Structure 1
Amino acid sequence: MIEPVDSLEITVVIDNVTDSLSSTPKFVETEFAGAWRRGMKWLGGKCLCCAAHGLSCLITARTGTSSRSLLFDTGPDEWVFERNVVRLGLDLGKVDAMMLSHGHWDHAAAMPRALQMITSANGGKPVPTYMHPGMFGPRAIKWPDGRFMPMEDIPSESVLAGNGAQLIVTKEEQSALSGSFYISGEIARVTAFERGLPGQHQLNERGEWKPDELLMDERFVAVHIANKGLFVFTACSHAGLINVLTHASHRFPDIPIYGVLGGFHLAGATESIIPDTVEALGKFNLDVIAAAHCTGWRALGAMTKQFGDRVVPSAVGKTFLL
């Protein structure tokens, strides 16, 4: 189900924060450094990306002289996505497939524009696009006072297909792009403390809001880096970061988990589980903990205190070379 690759390159197209000033390990290039390498002559705002609430990563796996690229989520807004792609100098014609991690607007809203840009650059070839059937129903958050705050719907199957998606809609795990990428099936919920997204509901066929806190449509991506181990991409961790890593370790028991990148969703209503998460995270002995998006500053601080330089925060425009 998964073939080892020689190296992995991750470009953060969209994230909640921008940070080119903090020190980074040698395998991380900041947005400023990347712009300078690409020919920036002076530092100014017209060459920089825009941070936004959401996440999108371009993941490229290389083996020998060949490479395979997966676009993992697209972020919340087509303008932000297009601006950042252009300013990062990314060639979307090399994107071989796209995957949506779960059915939330801040990861999905730019999908139609992303497909337009990919197909425009690749000569009109359809883009394999991996999705879960439970993503498409309308969602809302129920506030403590009983009101519902509807979320923006993600793009429909017909809209995506009309913009060039070759849809693969399934609950089952998938091996993608010659086995370089593993796309999980539904994530097993085994921890006692990770309980999903408090207050989330989904509209059923009768037009009723029903509790949907577990978000069973959320899935992760994994790549096996030779001589290092498994690298896991978890966009929001509504399933729980520990559930995600446990699922990955059980699925590939002979491959150690080298690192993880994504939103760990330990902000707001889930801040209470930070201590349990940090304690449980230790058993995986990760080399890279790239906290992103919805992790939250309290969780980032707790993880840094516990794991030190193994915590490498994500930011828009960063490139990880692993």
Structure 2
Amino acid sequence: MCTEPGSAADVLTAAPRPAPGAAVDPIALEPVDEVRITTLVDNSFDALLTGDERVTRPGTGAARVDAPQFENGTTTVGLVAEHGFAALVTVRRGERETTLLFDTGLSPTAMVTNADRLGVDLSGVQGVVLSHGHFDHAGGLAGLAGRRGTRALPMVVHPLVWTRRRLRIPGRDDAELPTLSKRALTGEGFEVIERREPSLLVDGCVLITGEVDRTTEFERGMPPAHQAWSGSEWRHDPLVKDDQALVVHVRGRGLVVLTGCGHAGVVNIVRHAQRLTGVGRLHALLGGLHLSGPAFEPVIAPTVAAMTELGPELVVSGHCTGWRAQHALAAALPDAWVPSSSGSGYRLTGLGTTA
């Protein structure tokens, strides 16, 4: 893991290296007319953010709650922010729409609370995708279980999503992370689908990447403090192999890539999606990029350089991206970057598509 800042020569040496040749198993990702992504949970909520033709913001008055200290006994509230991520993804082809849930946040209540305040009916969700097994992306499954009704709900995960993990930080007590229980999820009626390989959902128009090829020199994963249980001992777990992303091809625009934490490295993820689909243009990137903290700061400069070269029209970097990387992305991509916030919605339409 990188722990020291790199020189300019180091950055040049670590420039992204696309994997040579076409994908062994190319994916025929069907284009969609529209994709709408609502961030149900993120690390921040800013009620003063304004929207535009691509972005909607809930504002300060998302809902009213009881508050006896006010004259009329109520007050307006915004949305819950926590160290976690959850997004609602709706894709449209022609007149047909399908809605998926990508991650569920940290706590059992934040996602469902925000959905209620936004007027989102989670019972209409037709499937769940987990980006990886870390608890800040799966905690809201408990709240979702009570909202889906009696029907089974498909859930796409990587087989390593059940891995036991811990943080062993010098000077602190070892902290084992909450581990997902397959037995508990199936008992709640989730239909768990384990896939290492890429998966096509929604009649071939939503791609789940599966394991991501690691082709850059600089995206080396988690530091030594992040460990996994091998069955006999704790070992450094730098790669978080269960990390996967959701990809949609917006007609005539290019790929929309949604990440949870981006543990595989956002440049690796985008290039993997491009190679799998044969679509070279990145239209939008949303989600966590895991560039926060001293261990990841050396990765910021080459990541921003690669993203500038890719030239997306929209970048919504949230969750674990970190403030230094946010500032760098905002400076390098001022027309594309917009701040993330719980409750924000993003609407991306294909060329020639009517609303």
TM over 0.5: yes
Instruction: Say which SS state the counterpart of residue 114 (structure 2) adopts.
Output: helix
Matches within 5 A, 1:282-293: 282-293=308-319
Partner Cα distance (2:172, 2:189) in 1: 40
Partner Cα distance (1:132, 1:143) in 2: 27
Q: Given that residues 254 and 280 in structure 2 are in contact (C-alpha distance below 8 angstroms), is that contact kept between their aligned partners in structure 1?
A: yes
Matches within 5 A, 1:18-29: 18-29=45-56
Matches within 5 A, 1:182-221: 182-198=207-223, 199-206=225-232, 208-221=233-246
Partner Cα distance (1:130, 1:251) in 2: 18
1:48 corresponding residue in structure 2: 78
Moved more, 9-18 or 141-150: 141-150
Moved more, 273-282 or 45-54: 45-54
1:257 corresponding residue in structure 2: 282
Moved more, 143-152 or 59-68: 143-152
Q: Given that residues 55 and 107 in structure 1 are in contact (C-alpha distance below 8 angstroms), is that contact kept between their aligned partners in structure 2?
A: yes
Instruction: Say which SS state the counterpart of residue 168 (structure 1) adopts.
Output: strand
More helix by share: 1
Q: Is 1:308 equivalent to 2:338 in the alignment?
A: no
Shift of 1:111: 1.2
1:116 corresponding residue in structure 2: 146
- The answer for unaligned runs of 5 or more in structure 2 is 1-27, 64-71, 349-355
Pairing partner for 1:80 from 90, 103, 110 = 110
1:242 corresponding residue in structure 2: 267
2:29 corresponding residue in structure 1: 2
Pairing partner for 1:178 from 184, 193, 203 = 203
Partner Cα distance (1:33, 1:109) in 2: 26
1:139 corresponding residue in structure 2: 165
Pairing partner for 1:271 from 297, 304, 325 = 297
Which has more radius of gyration?
A: 2
Shift of 1:106: 0.2
2:119 corresponding residue in structure 1: 89
* Identical-residue share of aligned pairs (%): 35
Alpha-carbon distance change, 34 to 224 in structure 1, aligned in 2, over 3 angstroms: farther
2:43 corresponding residue in structure 1: 16
- The answer for unaligned runs of 5 or more in structure 1 is 37-41
Over aligned residue pairs, what C-alpha RMSD do you find? Answer: 1.8
Shift of 1:228: 1.2
Shift of 1:31: 1.5
Partner Cα distance (1:278, 1:304) in 2: 10
Instruction: Say which SS state the counterpart of residue 304 (structure 1) adopts.
Output: helix
Shift of 1:177: 1.6
